[in-house]
Amino acid sequence: MRRRTILGVLALPGAASAQARQLHIVNPFPPGSPVDLVARLAGDKLEAAFGQPVVVESRSGAGGTIGAGFVARAAADGSTLLCTTASLLTAALIQRDLPYQPLRDLVPIWGVQAGGLAVVVNPAVPARTLAEFTALARAQPGRLSFASSGHGSVQHFGGALYQARAGVQLTHVPYRGGAPAATDLIAGHVDAMFDAFSNQWANIQAGRVRVLALLRDRRLGLAPDIPTAAEAGLPGAVMPSWIGLFAPAATAAAALERIEHVLRQAMAQPDAADKLLRAGQEPDFIAGAAFRQRIVEDAGIFARIAREAGIGPE
């Protein structure tokens, strides 16, 4: 009976039997990303709780906006959700004709407060600390380069924030995705990245890149020896970082609360926490009203970074 009650909350009046419906979680990035991992973990927990199939599908492209736009336009019945990063907010600042507005058309439900952006360099770069990297950049304006997954991406904003706080000039090299950017970093075609820690954790461990600092407000339990940017001599360089689940804004409050309730409990269980840790994430969650407030605050932070760094539509 409990499963039928849960499914009834998620079903639209007059819809086909809730027992036959599928839930869809849209990943707006290519498969295999940290977003994909979180989406599939969340999907497994929702499937177990609701007793119905949960399908995770990738609708990638345009910096995550294709998938986000699809969910923003989807039926607001709790059956279609979006799992994405803070790129949801940065895209709204650099795309003139975005067909949706994140704060208006999507509502946050639950998220993982991710490991943040790591400042990583190719091992050939003669800098072992963030201070040394900053000194190199100051001595040779524009000579050092950093890669990102595209103009207006979270990685681009991370590099822009670093430059604004350090008072240096780097050359931005945008790629069509984080994977080719990281490949060229390892090959030495670019000097640095401001990339998600979880993306670079395996490369850091293997020595393929050198990590200098984290753009977050505290150290990671998974890698306690890596300093924050403030500890490395660069205060104020903190980037919002999370992977969260969203629904169309008109979704009934009861459906949102049910999903939130399931994920609050299930994703904190040892099996989910262990999978997150092994992927370079920490089981540090945010949900409900706190997550909604966080999204509003982060939108303001990104808008300020864009103004300071002169980031705008191409």
The answer to which of 8-17, 50-59, 82-91, 167-176 has the lowest mean pLDDT is 8-17
> Are the folds of 2-114+242-309 and 117-214 the same?
yes
Q: What is the pLDDT of residue 104?
A: 96
Structure tokens given for 83: 């799992």
- At 10 the pLDDT is 52
- Tens-digit pLDDT profile for residues 88-111: 999 889 888 888 999 999 999 999
The pLDDT, as a whole number, for residue 142 is: 97
Residue 313: predicted pLDDT: 80
Range from 23-27, 94-98, 195-199 that averages highest in pLDDT: 23-27
Strand partners, 286: 111
Could you give the CA distance from residue 113 to residue 283 in angstroms, rounded to a whole number? 8
Contact 251, 77 (CB under 8 A): yes
Every domain of the chain and the residues it spans = 2-114+242-309, 117-214
What per-residue confidence (pLDDT) applies to 55?
97
The architecture (CATH level 2) of 117-214 comes to 3-Layer(aba) Sandwich (3.40)
Model pTM score: 0.88
Rounded average pLDDT over 267-277: 90
Average pLDDT along the chain: 90
Report pLDDT digits (tens) over 218-258.
Answer: 999 889 999 999 999 999 999 999 999 999 999 999 999 99
What are the residues whose beta carbons fall under 8 Å from the beta carbon of 283, sequence distance 6 or more? 112, 267, 268, 272, 273, 276, 277
Sorted by sequence, the CB contacts under 8 Å of residue 158 that are 6+ apart come out as: 117, 148, 194, 195, 215, 239
Give the list of residues 6+ apart from residue 34 with CB closer than 8 angstroms, or none.
114, 196, 198, 199, 243, 279, 280, 281
- The residue with greater pLDDT, 202 or 21, is 202
Fold of 2-114+242-309: D-Maltodextrin-Binding Protein; domain 2 (3.40.190)
Give residue-wise pLDDT tens across range 109-148.
999 988 899 999 999 999 999 999 999 999 999 999 999 9
% of the chain with per-residue pLDDT over 70:
93
> Would you say residue 3 has pLDDT above 70?
no
